[in-house]
Chains A and B, each alone.
Chain A
Amino acid sequence: SAVISQKPSRDICQRGTSLTIQCQVDSQVTMMFWYRQQPGQSLTLIATANQGSEATYESGFVIDKFPISRPNLTFSTLTVSNMSPEDSSIYLCSVEETPYGYTFGSGTRLTVV
């Protein structure tokens, strides 16, 4: 299965600032997915990132708050903009590996103070 490297693994940020999370995959993939996992909660899909097109956002998530880049088939970034304490979560990137389901990165634990 694919190996995903996600950086940073954790960060503590001031409110009002932005953080960009990087996701590198060791193989070319068509779609990459960004999830949010709030403390003690399940995984919620933020958006799907296809190379060469705009990301598709799920209900409740907007591009201005979570801009995504997908410059090639092995890399993507998610930016959490104008952060508030409510943005404190684990952010995960993943790729779909049919028939293996999803493979996830190790996550970025974000704390906003």
Chain B
Amino acid sequence: GENVEQHPSTLSVQEGDSAVIKCTYSDSASNYFPWYKQELGKGPQLIIDIRSNVGEKKDQRIAVTLNKTAKHFSLHITETQPEDSAVYFCAASINTGGFKTIFGAGTRLFVKA
């Protein structure tokens, strides 16, 4: 079955710097790759996603890249702010009529003011 590995588990950056979180997946049939942000005491929130027919997608300060050949995808946050501090989860999904989704282990991001 699908396996998703996420690195690093913890990331600390200075405000204004960039943060990069990387994930790899095992099942080449995966075709949808969402990223979720989970703040303390809340459920995960979808922040950006990418489909397998796209190599890169950007939304303001966040961007996601996908390398299907290498089976890895990354989240890039530029100009980080303290409110970006949260746990970020990547996921890989296979659309089999509904999505079968496997989540990465999560990255705890600290943005220091």
Residues of A within 8 A of B (CB): 4, 6, 31, 41-43, 45, 92, 94, 96, 98-107, 109
Residues of B within 8 A of A (CB): 32, 34, 36, 41-46, 49, 89, 91, 93, 98-99, 101, 103-106
- Indicate if the CB atoms of A43 and B42 lie closer than 8 Å: no
Contacts of B44 in A (CB 8 A): 43, 92, 102, 104
* Interface of chain B, main secondary structure: strand
CB distance from A108 to the nearest CB of B (A): 10
Contacts of B99 in A (CB 8 A): 96, 98, 101-102
- Indicate if the CB atoms of B45 and A104 lie closer than 8 Å: yes
Contacts of B32 in A (CB 8 A): 101
- Indicate if the CB atoms of A102 and B46 lie closer than 8 Å: yes
- Indicate if the CB atoms of A42 and B106 lie closer than 8 Å: yes
Contacts of B93 in A (CB 8 A): 101
Given A101-B91, A107-B43, 20 more contacts at CB 8 Å? A6-B43, A31-B98, A41-B106, A42-B89, A43-B89, A92-B44, A94-B43, A96-B98, A96-B99, A101-B36, A101-B93, A101-B99, A101-B101, A102-B36, A102-B101, A104-B44, A105-B43, A106-B42, A106-B43, A107-B42
